[in-house]
Structure 1
Amino acid sequence: MLLGVNEDAFEVLEWHWGAFFIWAYVLQLSNTSRWSIFVVYGPADHRRTADFLGELSAAVTACPFPLVVGGDFNLIRGSEDKNNDNIDWPRVQRFNDCIASLALREIRRTGARYTWTNKQLSPVRCVLDRVLVSPEWEGLFPLCSLLADTIIGSDHSPLVLSSGEELGKRSSRFFFQKGWLEKPDFHGLVVLRWQGLLRDAAQCQDPVTVWHRIAAGLRQFLRGWGANLGKEDRDLKADILAQIRELDGVADHAGLDDEGWAMRCHLEGQLLHLSRVEEEYWRQRSRANWLIQGDANTAFFHAFANGRRRKCAISSLISDSGTITGERELQAHIYDFYS
């Protein structure tokens, strides 16, 4: 198990761990709230399930702070969590009883229907990964949401938990990337652009004005040029991922035959190859550049109210052109649809 923290966003006040979990008590720097996060890994050997649930119950009960618990529980909660009927119902009941006794609520997922597969041509698919929260944590982040992303490479789907807080805007400042110097055509492009800008600014008499115009034009050019680097690979990755998601959608609703699962495995292999190439580029680049230079009842009802707010929140829409996500894109699509 690993639990990492962005030190620009959080300060870790305490660390705790057990056989099946890591627990961090954190201070969120943006709003000074304090809460705990548990990352769990339940045993695949279900003879140890009772030990896992007992340790988790003791740790959650001892935690006096708002908390979120997420990870691979290796347990399901009902028939909808598995694509076949091979279910141990007493174990399901034990897991649900544990969640109820701790007064935790599961955050409803969007995205992939299942979070685990054994990656066979006729696979077993289950929901083993989930996020549970206390009413106090849900009160801090009433618009939290959970996305189960497409399974690529791993046998588990990555879960992305959003607190629902507005993300800070990306800085509009220009940053020169050292990696650009490694591009064989970079120097020639800069020279040509510089000469063109110099001709355009020739009518200016003030050298400072000339410099500012050339610098501004060059920044604009490099910002656009840098954004388009690797566009072909990015477009190819996006196309392959869209095909995989389409196959997953068919698998969720009608099922796939052996040919369909073989096609998904082939597409996933292509995507992993592209990712490895990109990873190697960044690994080499890092070597070359970076290393050198209220009360319980109130909280309970608030949790249900927050659940309704999340249910009414629109996180994505399906249109004729595909799935639309992102606040601005959703607003534009809805506006155009009703105009």
Structure 2
Amino acid sequence: MKALAYNLRGFGREGRRTQLRDYMRSNRLDILGLQETIRQDFTAAELRSLECGGQFAWNWLPANGHSGGLLLGFRDETFEVGEWRKGVFFISTKILQRNINMIWCFMLVYGPADHGRTEEFLGELEQAVADCQVPLVIAGDFNLIRSAGDKSTDNIDWPRVRRFNDSIAAMALREINRAGARYTWTNRQLNPIRCVLDRVFVSTAWEARFPICSVTAVTRIGSDHNPLLLDNGEATRCPPPRFFFQTWWFSVHGFGELVSAKLNHFLLDLGPHRDCIDLWQCVARNLRQFLKGWGANLGKEKRLFKENLLT
């Protein structure tokens, strides 16, 4: 199971959905959580455009004017989604993970940039965690730091840091150590300020079930935040790559003669004692295996030829 939490700074920005589809496809995500969508609503077509390899169950928290907004989706093949819960700063639901028959909760949060509302944010979070009686994952942009190492400058509000850490301790949560980027946010100025604002927390019960879970900060593109990729450590079964016959192979010089020679070679190797069905299956399997390797080498040659032309 893989989940992506990403503050994308606007769902409607150019290239955002293409970028999200690339994340979905390359990681085969089971959970997608977006913060700061800056959208009040989503059309069915927009949501379907994000679904790569299966349908998702979606819900969202509308933006407040031109800021905020959360979108959360779960792959139907992996999860059965229960009742949704929404707060001012979070959206969550209990889910049944089908392959292990386990019920747990995923909560997506977006902490206020206005630190005058930090107490309200942490209070709501503590209450939501207290009400949750199943293993829990909390991910998102908290807009808070936990230590001096979480910020590239010395301008730190230590009472707010202590309040955040006290809240985490009161909720009995543990942050999953992050691999990749040292900071998850930058203001992208000439002399930039960098902070760790995006995090993934889990309850002890969830971590006990998935002890080799990991979090990776994905390369930041477009947004000023790094997406966080949570992997629960379960082995992902990847189907073997399928063979596709390319019609343009007919235009390759000598292709017909090559296939004819291979067919004769396979028939001679099998011998005359095979029946028609057996011959067909064996020849088709051997020819498919040969063309798969031949096509891969041909594609490599074309790529090298293009690279030589460009250089």
TM-score normalized by the length of structure 1: 0.60
Per the TM alignment, residue 47 of structure 1 is displaced from its structure 2 partner at its CA by 2.3
Deviations 1:79-123 (A, max 9, x none): 100111121222212211111111111111122111111223432
CA distance in 1, matches of 2:256, 2:113: 60
> Is 1:171 aligned with 2:239?
yes
CA distance in 1, matches of 2:77, 2:251: 38
- Distance 1:10-1:87 versus aligned 2 partners, 3 A rule: same
Per the TM alignment, residue 45 of structure 1 is displaced from its structure 2 partner at its CA by 2.1
> Is 1:76 aligned with 2:76?
no
Q: Is the 8 A contact 2:81 2:96 kept in 1?
A: yes
AA aligned to 1:171 is: P
Q: Is the 8 A contact 1:150 1:157 kept in 2?
A: yes
AA aligned to 1:82 is: K
- Between 124-133 and 139-148, the greater mean CA deviation after superposition: 139-148
Q: Which structure dedicates a bigger proportion of its chain to strand? A: 2
CA distance in 1, matches of 2:298, 2:107: 39
Describe the SS at the equivalent of 1:11: strand
Aligned to 1:199: 264
Equivalent positions of 1:141-156 (< 5 A) are 141-156=210-225
- Distance 1:222-1:130 versus aligned 2 partners, 3 A rule: farther
Per the TM alignment, residue 71 of structure 1 is displaced from its structure 2 partner at its CA by 0.8
CA distance in 1, matches of 2:188, 2:291: 43
- Distance 1:221-1:8 versus aligned 2 partners, 3 A rule: farther
- Distance 1:219-1:79 versus aligned 2 partners, 3 A rule: same
CA distance in 2, matches of 1:89, 1:110: 25
AA aligned to 1:13 is: G
Describe the SS at the equivalent of 1:40: strand
Query: Which structure 2 residue ranges, 5 or more long, are not aligned?
Result: 1-69, 305-311
Runs of 4+ in structure 1 over 6 Å off: 225-232
Describe the SS at the equivalent of 2:71: coil
Q: Is the 8 A contact 1:197 1:217 kept in 2?
A: no
AA aligned to 2:74 is: V
Instruction: Specify which of 185, 207, 214 is matched with residue 248 of structure 2.
Output: 185
Instruction: Specify which of 21, 33, 45 is matched with residue 102 of structure 2.
Output: 33
CA distance in 2, matches of 1:27, 1:228: 44
AA aligned to 1:43 is: P
- Distance 1:227-1:78 versus aligned 2 partners, 3 A rule: farther
Deviations 1:123-163 (A, max 9, x none): 21111011111111112112222222222332211212121
- Between 13-22 and 198-207, the greater mean CA deviation after superposition: 198-207
- Distance 1:228-1:160 versus aligned 2 partners, 3 A rule: farther
- Distance 1:121-1:196 versus aligned 2 partners, 3 A rule: farther
- Distance 1:176-1:123 versus aligned 2 partners, 3 A rule: same
Describe the SS at the equivalent of 2:230: strand
Equivalent positions of 1:225-264 (< 5 A) are none
Q: Is the 8 A contact 1:114 1:126 kept in 2?
A: yes
Aligned to 1:116: 185
CA distance in 2, matches of 1:9, 1:185: 38
CA distance in 2, matches of 1:144, 1:102: 20
Bigger relative CO (Cα 8 Å, ≥ 6 apart): 2
Deviations 1:172-206 (A, max 9, x none): 3x6355xx75xx73443575653342232342434
Describe the SS at the equivalent of 2:121: helix
Instruction: Specify which of 135, 159, 166 is matched with residue 228 of structure 2.
Output: 159
CA distance in 2, matches of 1:67, 1:230: 46
CA distance in 2, matches of 1:3, 1:223: 39
CA distance in 2, matches of 1:35, 1:132: 14
- Distance 1:137-1:47 versus aligned 2 partners, 3 A rule: same
- Distance 1:198-1:122 versus aligned 2 partners, 3 A rule: same
- Distance 1:122-1:213 versus aligned 2 partners, 3 A rule: farther
Q: Is the 8 A contact 2:267 2:283 kept in 1?
A: no
AA aligned to 2:251 is: G
Q: Which structure dedicates a bigger proportion of its chain to helix? A: 1
Q: What is the aligned-residue identity percentage?
A: 53
- Between 102-111 and 196-205, the greater mean CA deviation after superposition: 196-205
TM-score normalized by the length of structure 2: 0.65
Aligned to 1:89: 158
CA distance in 1, matches of 2:285, 2:181: 44
